[in-house]
Every structure is written in structure tokens, then in C-alpha cells.
Amino acid sequence: MASLSEVRKTPDRVSGLPLVGNLPEFARDPIKFITRLKEDGGDVVGFSLLGDQSVLISHPKDIERVLLETGKRYSNGKSGTGYALKTIVGNGLVMSEGELWKRQRKLLAPAFHHQAIRKYAGLIVDYAHDLAQSWHDGAVRDIHQDMMTLTQRIIMKALFNVDVLNHAGTASEAFDTMMHAIDAEMRGLEAILPDFVPTFSRVRLREAVAYIDGLLTEIIEKQRSEAGDEHDDLLTMMMDARDDDGQPMSREQLLDEIRTLYLAGHETTATTLSWTWVLLSRNPEVYARLEAEIGQVLNGRTPTAEDVGQLSYCNAVIKEALRCYPVAWITRRVALEDVEIGGYQIAKGTSIYLSPWIVHHDARWYADPDTFMPERWLKDKSELPPREAYIPFGGGPRICIGNGLAMMEAVLILATLLQRYRVSVLAEHEVEIELTGTLRPKAGVQARMMERAL
């Protein structure tokens, strides 16, 4: 690798307007903008949002290095992303840095270890069954909303031993408000207004966070009142944890962590499943092969954690859905020192953007990148896409803590529901992408459920 003194090049910068830079273009259609950036400027290209220094990096090897060096040469980059994320996740795991992040990650990690998540398989399947029970033959439903309710129930039961079924609808609305507020801060009026200006979106955001906190406070109080009872869930672990000085986690920190896990732990998984239903409906041959595998492996019985590894086509379907529609479509880091990326000199303080959407649709790593092809994940090792070109869960120390849980959950939900119903997204229902904090289907996903003979 060249030393910094030998690196002379600075990345080309696309032109933009005075003061706002490329914000208008980014705001109009972010994916179109970053796609054009990469096509015109290559793997390292400069741009500017509101006068800052930004680069988009798109080579998987460069991205891997930046992700691996997060915490050393790069900050996690969330603290500068505006009022909304700060208000939603506070100092929770997505946001925190340094010693606080290390301590909290270490504390939360055991709940997400391979062995620990296997014990959630039963409740995932039970709740998926409950959902199937509420469907009936010929019904047309918004399956995205169904997935949101289901994954909310699962994450809150798995981690905090509480069933939020009765609150899931209103909680979904509150989370929806939060996701739109993130979007507004990125590319709406809020992007150019100081944090103290109480815009409509910010007022609604605060109300939404207060609603969720009310719900979470009830949960914490209930747990407290049951102190002494045997609980081995994450909430009890967090409440029992003590730092080096013997101090418990503050109430604010506790709320931030739970709110973070509640949001991060359901929206992404639900949205991934919603895109999966859309892709399956558009690709009947994939659907048929998936049904065949589920029939063969399960033979009508309820799936268990042991089956997840056997359902290789089902895993490939989810993996491919996450390639086509990586719900966490962009992320950011900030250079803490002058660095070199891909032979270019990048100054300290530069915002570095990397986009799973761009990498996953790059024909250098994926043949027919716009085609949904689960088979690409079932080839011999030598023919698989490069490992570092698949980043739906990020990478390095800040890799998604819930990635194993999300994959197992998605496979078990798909298998359970497919055993009982054939789900067809209505052909006349155009599913558009909406970019809020995540990449999700705009206006839900209308689907018809047809009961299958078991």
C-alpha cells in the first residue's frame, strides 16, 4: 500500500450549487444521484451536501477496510446525521461511540450469539402461526403491515419478554413518523434548518418518541415489580448490569437501548420480508422451487431451529432479496485523520458514504445484477460473488448485531407462512420504493392469500 505522502490524488468532485452543493439532486432521488455519481466518477468520488466534504466509495475492498477501521481511523458517523436519529436512538448502540459503545455492545452481544438465538425459534414460529390463523382463504391484505406487526411481536418477546400485539398498530404509526423524520432531516426542509427550529416533522417526531417511551416505561415498571422472579431476558440482564464503579445503567440509557433495539430489530426484518414477497410473486419459478424445498424438508411439520440450515434455497431467497433490496441502503463514516482510500487522499473530517445498493447492483461482482436469482448463492465456492461485495448488514466492529437473528427469523417466517398459504402480491399493485431511513415499499404491499391443502 502506498504511504500517504506518495498518494497525491484527491478524488474528482461533481459540481454542485453554491452553499447547498448537491443536496437538491440528492433530495430529489438519492439512489439515482449516487448511481450517477459512481457511473461518472468511479469508485471514489467527491460531492458536497450543504458545503461539507463528502465522498462516495464503491469498491468492496475499500469499503471493507473503512468498515474494519471504524472506531480507529473513522467514526461511526451517526452523530452528525441530524436531529431525527439523535432523538430516536439517543445514546443507544446504533449511535454511541468509544468506551460507551464498547461496554454496551459487550453487554448486549450474548443475547444475539448463535446459540442464544436458537431459543427464539419456537416463539418466531408460534407468532407466525398466529398470523396465519388471522388470514383466510382469498383475503387481500397489506402484507407489509402484517410483517411489521409480526416482527415487532417477535423482537419484543425475544429480548424483553413482553407481547406488544395490542400496541403494534399504534407503535407502527409512531415508528413510521420516526422514519419519515429521518428522511426529512436528510433531504427535506429540516436538512437546512438548525435543530432548535420546531418544524411540524420534529414536533411529530417528539410525540412519537414520547409514545414509544410511555410503552417502554410500562414494560420496565412491570419487570421491576416482578423483580425476584426468574427472568433470563435481555431487559433483566441490562437492569442487573453494573459498570466498573458498580453503577447500574441510567434510566435514560436503558430507554435509549430498548428503543434502539425495538426499532432496529423489527423494521429492517419486516421490510426485507415484504420485498421477498414482492420478488417471489414476480418470479413464480423461484416461488415453486421454494415451496418444493419447504415441502421436502419439513413434510408438513412445524419448522425448528435445526431446519434453518437445511432450508438452503430458502436462505438463498432471503439472501438474494437483501442483495436486490438492501433495506439499509446507505451508511456513513467520518474520517478521524487524513486517510488514503483506493489511492486517493481523503482529508480528516470528510464524510464517507458507502452504499450496499450500489455495490449489490454492480455488474463487476454480480452477473445480471438487476435479476432476482437466488441460485447465484448456491454455486461452488469459486463461483460465488466476492464475500466483501455483499454487505446488507455492514461489516467490521459495527456489523449489525442482529444479523444472525434476522436471517433465522426471516427463514422461519417464510417457511411457516408458505406451508399454509400461497401469497401473491396483486399484479396491478405497483410497488414503489420509498427511501426513509430505510428502503421500503411505499404504500405497503397488497397481497392475496390462498390457503394451501396441507
- Helix (H/G/I), strand (E/B), else coil: 425: strand
> Which triple of cell numbers denotes residue 383?
463461483
Please give the backbone phi and psi of residue 303, each rounded to the nearest 5 degrees, phi first: -70, 150
Least distance CB 146 / ligand HEM (angstroms)? 16
The C-alpha cell that represents 281 in the structure block: 410473486
| Nearest residue (CB) to ligand HEM, 7 versus 155 | 155
Q: What is the number of the residue whose Cβ is closest to ligand HEM?
A: 402
In whole angstroms, how close is the CB of 69 to ligand HEM at the nearest point?
12
Question: Smallest distance, Å, CB 88 to ligand HEM?
Answer: 12
The stretch near ligand HEM (CB under 6 A) out of 166-174, 211-219, 261-269, 298-306 is 261-269
- Does residue 268 touch ligand HEM according to CB under 6 A? yes
Among 369, 394, 429, 434, indicate the residue that binds ligand HEM (CB under 6 A). 394
By CB under 6 A, residue 441 contacts ligand HEM: no
Residue whose C-alpha is closest to residue 177's, from 205, 207, 211, 214? 205
* Residue 382 CB partners (closer than 8 Å, separation 6+): none
Q: Are 388 and 359 in contact (CB under 8 A)?
A: no
Query: Which of 87, 260, 281, 419 touches ligand HEM (CB under 6 A)?
Result: 260
Q: Are 49 and 23 in contact (CB under 8 A)?
A: yes
Q: Which of 327, 389, 408, 413 binds ligand HEM (CB under 6 A)?
A: 327
Least distance in Å: CB of 380 to ligand HEM? Answer: 26
**Residues in Cβ contact with 151 at an 8 Å cutoff, skipping those fewer than 6 apart:** 265, 266, 267, 269, 270, 273, 409
- Stretch of residues binding ligand HEM (CB under 6 A), selected from 116-124, 190-198, 215-223, 389-397: 389-397
Share of the chain residues as helix, strand and coil, in percent rounded to the nearest 5 = 55, 10, 35
Whether 440 contacts 271, CB under 8 Å: yes
Residue 7 grid cell: 498518494
Over the window 147 to 186, marking each residue x when it contacts ligand HEM by CB under 6 A and - when it does not, the resulting string is --------x-------------------------------
The three-state secondary structure class of 215 is: helix
Grid coordinates standing for 45?
Answer: 468520488
CA atoms within 13 A on the CB side of 273: 30
Cell of 101: 459503545
Q: Does residue 400 bind ligand HEM (CB under 6 A)? A: yes
Number of residues in contact with ligand HEM under rule CB under 6 A: 23
Among 127, 135, 287, 393, binds ligand HEM (CB under 6 A): 393
Closest approach of ligand HEM to the CB of residue 286, in Å = 19
Residue 39, C-alpha cell as written in the block:
457511473
Q: Which is nearer to ligand HEM, 406 or 415 (CB)?
A: 406
Which of 171, 219, 261, 334 touches ligand HEM by CB under 6 A? 261
Cell 488514503 sits on residue: 340
Measured from the CB atom, the residue of 265 and 444 that comes closer to ligand HEM is 265
Q: Determine which residue in the list 269, 315, 350, 351 makes contact with ligand HEM, applying CB under 6 A.
A: 269
* Residue 254 binds ligand HEM, judged by CB under 6 A: no
Pick the closer one to ligand HEM by CB: 71 or 295. Answer: 71
Q: Which of 16, 46, 90, 392 binds ligand HEM (CB under 6 A)?
A: 392
**Listed ranges 16-24, 27-35, 126-134, 263-271: which one lies at the site for ligand HEM (CB under 6 A):** 263-271
d(C-alpha 261, C-alpha 258), whole Å: 5
Cβ nearer to ligand HEM, comparing 99 with 430: 99
CB contact at 8 A, 37 and 45? yes
Beta strands in 285-379 (DSSP E): 331-335, 339-341, 344-346, 351-354
| Nearest CB to ligand HEM, comparing residues 75 and 199 | 75
CB of 233 to ligand HEM, least distance (A): 13
Kindly compute the dihedral angle of the four CA atoms of residues 76, 77, 81, 87, in this order, to the nearest 10 degrees: 30
Regarding 401 and contact with ligand HEM (CB under 6 A), the answer is: yes
Positions in 402-421 near ligand HEM (CB under 6 A)? 402, 405-406
d(CA 121, CA 404): 12
Identity of residue 137? D
> What residues line the site for ligand HEM (CB under 6 A)?
93-94, 105, 155, 260-261, 264-265, 268-269, 272, 327-328, 331, 392-394, 398, 400-402, 405-406
